[in-house]
Each structure stands twice: as C-alpha cells, then as structure tokens.
Amino acid sequence: MHDSLADLRQELLALLCRDAYRAGEFILSSGQKSHYYINCKPVTLSARGAYLVGRLFLAQLAPEAVAVAGLTLGADPLVVAVSVLSNVQGQDRAALIVRKEAKGHGTMSFIEGPPLPQGAVVTVLEDVITTGGSALKAVLRLQEAGYVVNEVLAIVDRQAGGEAAFAAQGIPLRSLFRISDLEAYLNAV
C-alpha cells in the first residue's frame, strides 16, 4: 500500500485502456450514439482494479463524507472497494447501493446499506459519466432519504454534459480521468 497515488492512477489508466475501452459504434444508456464504449466492470470487478479505484477514490473523499453510494450495478464494486479500504485505513465509510426501482418486498426500499442519521453526508460514486442521468437518479434517491450529497466522483467523465447537469443541481463532479486522458494514452501506445 505504499505506491504513490500518481503510480496507482497511471496503472488504472492502463487497465482502463486495455480492458474497458472499446472502439466501434455504440448506443449509450443516455441514448446517444458513440464511436467508443467504456465498460469499467472488467476493471472494477477485478481484484487489482477494485483496489486501484478504491485507493484513488478514498484519497479524494471529503472528510465529512460518512458514506459512499451509487446506482446499481456499475457503482456496486466502487462503493464496496472504497468502504473496505476505508476500514483498513481506520476511516470506516459506509457503502450504500441505490436501486433503480424500489424493492418489491420486505422493506420496499431504494437504498441498501447500514442505517445513517438524517443529514449524513454521502458522496456518490459512478464508473462512467456521460449526461449524468444515472448518478443523478442516485442523488435524488439519497436526498429523498434525508442524506446530503456533497459531490459525485467518477472514474471517467466522457465530457458529454454530465458536469453541467450536476452543476445545475449545485453538486460538484470530479473524475479520476476525462475521456481525453484515455484517448491521449491510447494514441501514445
């Protein structure tokens, strides 16, 4: 755990370019057409990828954030990685998973995870931001549950309007990488 954050970031960039980035013609969840697709799950569901993402996100979390949350399924490995590594570092940040639809039985809840007090500060995590629609759903559900969302952290910002969508809601967006970082790396190798 003594690698520098810069080294970890560079290693994650290489993994994303090798295992997550695909060139071609794709329709995104936003409905937009794209000449590339980024599927972070092969990276975030690998042991090393989860570790890298967890370390890098944890280093960026504001001290007041008591939990990390995200919309299932893309954010599930992110919130778990950050929560587990926070415990290793003595920080104990809870992981919350936000469902797309309310559970149809039992508690009928949208949010899974340990109970937190009203007003608890939560950071939303996302793998890839395009328009911000998925992460905004998580933000809304968390706010409806009485939590304060302080910011959104993403692995990759596709630079396609997501930052403006969050700014309109008064929520900062920060990302580990922008699509231009991946493109520069791919063009250099």
CATH code, domain with 24:
3.40.50.2020
**Residue 4 pLDDT:** 96
**Residue 3 pLDDT:** 84
From CA 159, how far away is CA 89, in angstroms rounded? 32
**Residue 24 pLDDT:** 93
Domain count of the fold of the chain: 1
Here the tokens at position 172 are 């900062």
Contact 181, 151 (CB under 8 A): no
Look at strands 21-27 and 33-38 and give their pairing: antiparallel
From CA 10, how far away is CA 23, in angstroms rounded? 21
Residues of the chain with pLDDT under 50: none
**Residue 29 pLDDT:** 80
**Residue 89 pLDDT:** 94
Domain limits for position 129:
5-188
From CA 156, how far away is CA 129, in angstroms rounded? 6
Q: Read off the pTM.
A: 0.94
- Burial label for 119, CB within 10 Å (0-12, 13-18, 19+), is exposed
Helix axes 47-60, 5-15, angle to 10 degrees: 130
From CA 133, how far away is CA 129, in angstroms rounded? 8
**Residue 58 pLDDT:** 98
Contact 174, 134 (CB under 8 A): no
